[in-house]
Amino acid sequence: MASPVLPSSGVLSPLGTDSVRPAPGFWGDRIALNREVTIAHCQEWMERTGWIGNFRRLGATPAQRGAHPRQGREFSDSEIYKLLEAMAWADHPNLPELAATVAAAQEEDGYLNTRWYDDRYSDFEWGHELYCYGHLIQAGVARLRAHGEDELTKVVLRAADHICRRFMNTQETCGHPVVEMALVELYRATGTERYLEMARRFVERRGLPALGDITFGRAYFQDDLPVRRARVFRGHAVRAVYLASGAVDVAVETGDSELLSAIEAQWERTVARRIHLTGGLGSRHSDESFGEDFELPPDRAYSETCAGIGSIMLSHRLLLATGNVRYADLAERTMFNVLATALALDGRSFFYASPLHVRVPASPLEGVNQVAEGGLRSPWFTVSCCPSNIARTYASLAAYLATSDASGVQIHHHAPAEIRHGGLALRVETGYPWSGAVTVRVLEAGSGRISLRVPPWASGARLSYGGAVRPVSPGYAVAEGEWRAGDEIRLDLPMTPRWTYPDPRADAVRGCAAVERGPLVYCAESVGDEPPLSLIRAGTATPVEHHLLDGVVELDVQASLLHPPADAWPYSSPQAPQSAAPPGQPAPAPAGEPLRLVPYHRWGNRGPATMRVWLPTTA
C-alpha cells in the first residue's frame, strides 16, 4: 500500500496512492501541477543555492572543501530529503540521480550530514541532525512503498541502524522532532522492531528534560513536560505537531492507549483555543510558536505552511486510529485554507507564513526571500522548509482522501478520483469545493458500505441512491447495498455562504465576522487603488455569489468606509459613545458598496495587495 502512514491497527485503514487515482479537479489539478512543475522548481533552487552541492562537496579533498564553503542553514539536508520523498511518491524520473548524490556522502557507519560530519552530535538543541535523518527515513519509506528497494532505501536502513546504535541507550534527543514518526513508519515498512523501540524512547525521554534550556524556554521544543503529561500543544508549532504525530504512531503500535488519549486531549484543547479560522497554527513570529489560549491576532497570525501540513498529518493519524470524523473535518479546513493557500497558481512560489490580515502590500522580490513573512509568495527562502513540504504533501495527497474498514470504503475528502478497494471500483465526480454535489458512480460491482463525509457546516445535506432521497446529518452519510456497475450515489451539500463569528475570548477579532462558503474561508483583498481595508465596516446580510468562468466562486458583501479623524492623536472621547453591536450579533447593514471577497487560498495572485479575513462589523 503506497501511503505515508500505514498503521498496523486502528479503526480505519488508509487507501494509498495505488488505490486512489485523482482526476482533474481542485486537488487533482494541484497534484498534477506539483508533479510537473513544483518538484522540478524545488530541485532547481536546491542546486542554485548549493544545498545539493553540499553532498558532492563531502567527496572532495579537505583543501577543495576549504575553497568551497558549505551553503545554507544547518538543516538544509532535510530539504533534499523532503524533495526525494516527493519524487518517490510521484515516481519522478530525477530521483535515482539525486539519491546517488546523497548516497555518495554517507559514511561507513551510516552517518550522513553535510553540516556536522566533522563535529557529530555536538548541538542537540539546534543541530537538527536527527531531524534530517527523520526526513531521510520518510523518503526511504516512500520509496519502499511506492517502488521497492533501491539505493535510496539502503542508505536509509544504514542511517536508521546507525541511529539505533548511537542513541538507544542514551538520554539524548533532537531539538526538532520528526525522527519519531519516521522510525515508526520504517518499522511498519520493514518489521524491524528496534526502529519502533528507538522511536518510543525518543518520545518518552522528551521533557525529562532531554535538552538544554534556551532563550525561548524548553517549551519551544516541547521539552518542558513529558509528552503524556502535557495538556495542550505549545511552543514551536511545527515541532509540536510533528512530535504529536510521532507519539500517536508510537501509541498505536505499542497499544499505549494512555498516550493516545493524551494526544487526543491536547488536540481537542488546542483546536478549542489556539487555532485560526483557516486551521492555521501559531501566533508568534519570534519563535514561530503557539500563543496563549485565544491569543489569535489576525495580523500577527503566523500559520506556517509546515505547521498546517503537520496538523493535517496529525489529524489523519488520529482519524485512522479512532475513526472520529472531527479529525477529517479539521484536515479539510487546513487543506483548503493553509495547504492550498501556500502554493501559487503557477506552482512556482510559496507562502511560508499565512496571516489573516496583511496591512501593507509586499514589494515584489527576485531571488531568495530572507524572511518568512511577506504578503507575496516567494520562489525560495533562506529557511525553505515549506516548499519541499508542500511538494511531498501534494505528491502523497491521494493517500489522505479515502480509507477502508471491514464494512467498506469511507470518502473523507470530496475530489474527482477513482477509488479501488477489494473488488469495488468507484468514480467520484464533483466540482467541490465550488459545488456541493458529489456523485459516486460504481464502475465495478461489489458490496459494502460507501460512507461520505458530511462536514459540520453542511446542515440540510441530502443523500440519494436506489431511488430514495434522505436528509443526512454532519458526520458520515452511509449508503449500503450490493452495488452493480452503473449504480450512482449522490451527496448534496448546501453551499450557502455564511457569516462566522469568533469566540469572544478571541478578543483580537471581537466585533469582526468572517465569511465562509463550504470548506473555504473568504477574504477581502485590495490591489492598487482599491478601497483601503483598514476603514471598512461590513454589513452581515447574506453574501451574493458570483460564479466565474473557471468555476471559482467569489462573493459580494455590503461595506461602507469609515472616515478617519485628523491625523494627530488616534484616540478620542466623544460625548455620546457610539453604540456597538454586541459581539456575535449581526450589525445593522450600513448603507454601503459591494465589497468583493475572494477565496482566501487565492489571495495574492493578482500582485501586491492588502488583505483581511476578519471584517469589522461595528464602528
In whole angstroms, how close is the CB of 305 to Zn ion at the nearest point?
Answer: 5
User: Are the CB atoms for 20 and 419 separated by under 8 Å?
Assistant: yes
Give the span between the Cα atoms of 329 and 314, in whole angstroms.
13
Binding-site ranges for Zn ion (CB under 5 A)? 306, 385-386
On the question of a cis peptide bond just before residue 433, with omega within 30 degrees of 0, the verdict is yes
Of the pair 352, 434, the CB lying nearest Zn ion is at 352
User: Are the CB atoms for 587 and 508 separated by under 8 Å?
Assistant: no
In whole angstroms, how close is the CB of 369 to Zn ion at the nearest point?
Answer: 12
Give the span between the Cα atoms of 478 and 493, in whole angstroms.
14
C-alpha cell at 147: 517502488
Residue nearest to Zn ion (CB): 306
In whole angstroms, how close is the CB of 352 to Zn ion at the nearest point?
Answer: 6
In whole angstroms, how close is the CB of 393 to Zn ion at the nearest point?
Answer: 11
Q: Which of 289, 285, 277 is nearest to 237 (CA)?
A: 289
In whole angstroms, how close is the CB of 37 to Zn ion at the nearest point?
Answer: 19
Grid cell 501586491 is found at: 608
Of the pair 304, 516, the CB lying nearest Zn ion is at 304
Of the pair 310, 543, the CB lying nearest Zn ion is at 310
Grid cell 545554507 is found at: 72
In whole angstroms, how close is the CB of 385 to Zn ion at the nearest point?
Answer: 3
Of the pair 146, 238, the CB lying nearest Zn ion is at 238
Give the span between the Cα atoms of 399 and 393, in whole angstroms.
10
In whole angstroms, how close is the CB of 176 to Zn ion at the nearest point?
Answer: 11
Of the pair 216, 294, the CB lying nearest Zn ion is at 216
C-alpha cell at 289: 510558536
Give the span between the Cα atoms of 41 and 96, in whole angstroms.
17
Of the pair 386, 417, the CB lying nearest Zn ion is at 386
C-alpha cell at 496: 450557502
DSSP secondary structure letter of residue 581: P
In whole angstroms, how close is the CB of 353 to Zn ion at the nearest point?
Answer: 9
Give the span between the Cα atoms of 300 and 288, in whole angstroms.
11
Q: ∠ CA 253-259-263 to the nearest 5 degrees?
A: 110
Of the pair 320, 386, the CB lying nearest Zn ion is at 386
Of the pair 157, 386, the CB lying nearest Zn ion is at 386
Give the span between the Cα atoms of 292 and 289, in whole angstroms.
10
Helices 77-90 and 39-48 meet at what angle, rounded to 10?
150
Q: ∠ CA 206-211-217 to the nearest 5 degrees?
A: 100
Of the pair 137, 281, the CB lying nearest Zn ion is at 281
Grid cell 518510543 is found at: 200
In whole angstroms, how close is the CB of 467 to Zn ion at the nearest point?
Answer: 50
